[in-house]
Amino acid sequence: MQLTVWTYEGPPHIGAMRVATAMRGLHYVLHAPQGDTYADLLFTMIERRDARPPVTYTTFQARDLGADTAEIFQSAAAAAYERFRPEAMIVGASCTAELIQDDPGGLAKALNLPIPVIPLELPAYQKKENWGASETFYRLVRALSGPAPASGTARERADGRRPLCNVLGPTALGFRHRDDLVEIKSLLDRLGIDVNVVAPLGASPSDLGRLAQADFNIVLYPEVARAAAQYLQKTFGQPMVETVPIGVRATIRFVEEVAVLAGVDPAAVLAGAPSRLPWYSRSVDSTYLTGKRVFIFGDATHALALARVAATEIGFKVVGLGTYTREFAREVRAEAEAHGIEALISDDYLDVEAAIQAAQPELVLGTQMERHIAKRLGVPCAVISAPIHVQDFPARHSPQMGFEGANVLFDTLVHPLMMGLEEHLIGMFREDSEFHADAAPSHLGAKPRPAPEPEPVTSITVTPAGPAPWAADAEKELKKIPFFVRGKARANTERFARERELALITVETLYDAKAHFGR
């Protein structure tokens, strides 16, 4: 663990809280000091939920450490049961409370509550949020889904019954999970497949007891649901679909794989896949996008999906790919290798910023961290992964999965570049006689204002360690370059001048550097 200004993931008990908050009839008793109750804000302020998380904190204070903190936990757990009467309870410790080693699981078991109590062992100093969500969901499924069948794992479907599946992975505070779920359920319904249980989002502990009734499982977010789905596959013989349907091609593969497991015909759903992304990518307007350099960073699910969409469906060139989800480092490294680059596996935003600067992309696809980084570097950015802020929880329907999700995704990726072009044109004509800030409306025929003369360079100060200064006319010419590649042009020109020991960067230097690096 390291101290940092920003963090991509919280401690693992935040992951457990995401699962508990997503479910109904489940309560989380968290052994934590008074300061750890900040987590409520993640859901009520950022996700804008209309209810607080179902969490009871023990909120012990410093003066309690000299007394019996175990008794504080037991009292809190007993009071939580009496007040909320949940179907089941999970118990654990925050990163701070882990240090006092009170064993919440054993303490809760001693209370003999008349409901299932599932202890969580979440090592806060080795693991993080996504792992905590995965471990919590796995423990819940293992405890509540029932025993393995006595007579093998073969599954029979009664005549006339539609195929039945479970959809696993959506949680509270998940990036577009609510909207993705709407799209996936619509696809399944059009295929003639019924949804047995969606979990964790919207499920109750008793719903988890019905998981074994499904014919197969769909894993929407592997970071959360893969471990639970593997347990269900081993215990109940339920196959699973792990293709994440982000992008048109992945959605088609997803539909085909689901159809095979369900024994249905996907033709009606796939006929004229209803997305505008493929049409635009083949249109003449898309030539503006072809070959744009893009840097992608986020959780593994979204980073992997966006790399494939960017390269194969829009025509971008992936020049950077990384994730903070270390548990999926192997998959991300393999995908990066397919693009001819080396993956960045890091949870340090300073490493990510350095990698973005080195790659000189024209577009960044990342988290809210990368949004701040890209803004400082003057590069367009779109948010495609958690961690996210309130603006990434829109009230409107805005999925990333399915065919409609591909439309949303296309807008997400293309609009920053298109608006960047518009901003560039506005900047380019800022001093134009008709379009400058003080000009009257053109239909009134106002007298044009003469363009200002460039200020001459009167003195030059050269520092050996820094770049050569820019002449005023060279700076003005640099501003004509689109802002999303202006940083790269400046860096290349200064490098060109430094290598040739030029005392001043002129317009000629700018174009000489362009010709040199364009070869």
Catalytic residue set: 285
Question: What are the φ/ψ torsions at residue 112 (nearest 5 degrees)?
Answer: 55, 50
Is 241:257 a contact under the CB 8 Å cutoff? yes
CA distances from 49 to 36, 282, 307, 342, 420 (A): 19, 40, 31, 39, 34
Question: What are residue 505's DSSP bridge partners?
Answer: 470
User: Both tokens of residue 268?
Assistant: 């009606």
Closest CA to 308 of 280, 287, 345, 277: 277
Q: Is the dihedral angle over the CA atoms 387, 393, 399, 405 positive or is it negative? A: negative
Query: What would you report as the CA-atom Rg of the chain, rounded to the nearest whole angstrom?
Result: 28
Q: How far is residue 217's CA from residue 195's CA, in Å, rounded to a whole number?
A: 10
Instruction: Give dist(CA 162, CA 347) in Å, integer.
Output: 44
- Cβ distance 21 to 54 under 8 Å? yes
Q: Evaluate whether 90 touches 109 at the Cβ level (below 8 Å).
A: no
Burial of 216 (0-12, 13-18, 19+ CB in 10 A): buried
Q: Check residue 448 and report its DSSP letter.
A: P
DSSP 42-82: IIIIIS--SS--SEEE--B-GGGGGS-HHHHHHHHHHHHHH
Strand 317-323: give its sheet, edge to edge. Answer: 344-345, 317-323, 293-298, 363-366, 381-383
36 is an annotated ligand-binding site residue: yes
According to the annotation, is 220 in a ligand binding site? no
Helix (H) / strand (E) containing 426 = helix 402-428
Go through 262-277 and write b for each residue having 16 or more CB atoms within 10 A of its CB, e for each that does not.
Answer: bebebeebbeebebeb
330 to 153, 281, 307, 362: CA distances (angstroms)? 31, 30, 15, 27
Helices (H), 192-247: 205-208, 222-236
The answer to whether the beta carbons of residues 411 and 394 sit under 8 Å apart is no
Element housing 31 (H / E): strand 26-31
Strands 293-298 and 164-168: unpaired
Decide if 218 contacts 198 (C-beta within 8 A).
Answer: no
Q: Binding site for [4Fe-4S] cluster: which residues?
A: 36
Residue set of the binding site for substrate:
420-421
Feature table: binding site: 36, 420-421
